């Protein structure tokens, strides 16, 4: 089985004490590739540094909506320079988050649109973060169309109507450990069968969103645990886990422009 954790934050300081061991646990779980996703300049720098050191790792650069009020053209220029590195395969995570409102809506929307423009000029796929935007993210995407736009909706938690619109736009859907959680994951589990198999991605969002049953033992999520997400999705869809893993591996490599045939040994 080949598994790709399409979204993690293993640049986080909580992984520093056992980083090598964490990668080894991922390898044992057949998680052979991981995408480290930046949320600001510092984490994007760190993601690229780690991806350069380990062949199983890739990087994405961007400014998260929480950090929008600290964004600037100078920061985006720096991220554009980082994006020239071959280990950078996406721009993100970017989007809108009206749940906690760590940045004002006006700032979030301005820098979201600006990053859309930059990523599309660079030809990079996008990683979208959306939470409680009440359709505003979709509205902005429709106001700024791009026929070449490729994207994944990270940690999808929207409605059936929103899911249908994302799929119509050609986007992939990222599924996290939420799908394994009994009460919180019920709405997502109901929608899982309606996601086309060639649009599915699995992700941890590590160190956050630890899946069941690991969340009963471990506070920190890590890439090895994405295996549980894949197995739960296969169970819900009544599909063979090995075949679904192959499909999701191909989906992830295709979205991010990575050769799916590479063994990607961990180093």
**259 appears as a binding residue in the annotation:** no
**93 appears as a binding residue in the annotation:** yes
Q: Which alpha helices (H) appear in 89-214, and where do they start and end?
A: 105-122, 136-143, 160-168, 186-191
**14 appears as a binding residue in the annotation:** no
Q: How many other C-beta atoms are found inside a 10 Å radius of the C-beta of residue 259?
A: 7
CA–CA distance, 244 with 256 (Å, rounded to integer): 18
Three-state DSSP class for residue 108: helix
**78 appears as a binding residue in the annotation:** no
**54 appears as a binding residue in the annotation:** no
In sequence order, the β-bridge partners of residue 100 are none
Q: Residues 92, 220, 99, CA angle at the centre, nearest 5°? A: 50
| Residues 209 and 177: beta-carbon distance below 8 Å | yes
Dihedrals φ, ψ of 156, to 5°?
-55, 130
**130 appears as a binding residue in the annotation:** no
List the structure tokens of 21. Answer: 């061991």
Whether the bond between 213 and the residue before it is cis, its omega within 30 degrees of 0, is yes
List the structure tokens of 164. Answer: 């249908």
Binding site for a divalent metal cation: residue ranges?
Answer: 7, 9, 93, 129, 154, 205
Which residues are annotated as part of the binding site? 7, 9, 93, 129, 154, 205
């Amino acid at each position: 089985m080949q598994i790709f954790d399409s979204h993690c934050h293993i640049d986080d300081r909580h992984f520093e004490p056992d980083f090598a061991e964490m990668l080894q646990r991922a390898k044992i779980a057949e998680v052979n590739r991981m995408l480290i996703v930046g949320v600001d300049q510092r984490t994007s720098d760190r993601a690229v540094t780690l991806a350069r050191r380990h062949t199983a790792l890739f990087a994405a650069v961007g400014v998260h909506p929480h950090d929008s009020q600290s964004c600037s053209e100078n920061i985006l220029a720096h991220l554009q320079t980082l994006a020239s590195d071959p280990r950078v395969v996406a721009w993100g995570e970017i989007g809108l988050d009206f749940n906690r409102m760590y940045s004002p809506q006006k700032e979030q929307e301005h820098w979201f649109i600006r990053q859309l423009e930059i990523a599309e000029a660079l030809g990079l796929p996008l990683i979208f973060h959306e939470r409680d935007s009440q359709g505003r993210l979709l509205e902005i995407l429709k106001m700024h169309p791009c026929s070449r736009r490729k994207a994944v909706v990270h940690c999808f938690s929207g409605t059936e109507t929103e899911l249908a619109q994302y799929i119509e736009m050609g986007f992939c859907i990222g599924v996290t450990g939420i799908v394994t959680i009994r009460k919180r994951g019920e709405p997502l589990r109901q929608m899982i069968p309606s996601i086309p198999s060639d649009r599915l991605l699995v992700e941890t969002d590590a160190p956050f969103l630890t899946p069941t049953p690991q969340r009963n033992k471990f506070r920190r999520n890590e890439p090895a645990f994405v295996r549980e997400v894949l197995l739960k999705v296969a169970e819900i869809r009544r599909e063979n886990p090995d075949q679904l893993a192959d499909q999701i591996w191909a989906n992830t490599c295709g979205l991010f422009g990575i050769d799916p045939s590479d063994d990607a040994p961990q180093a």
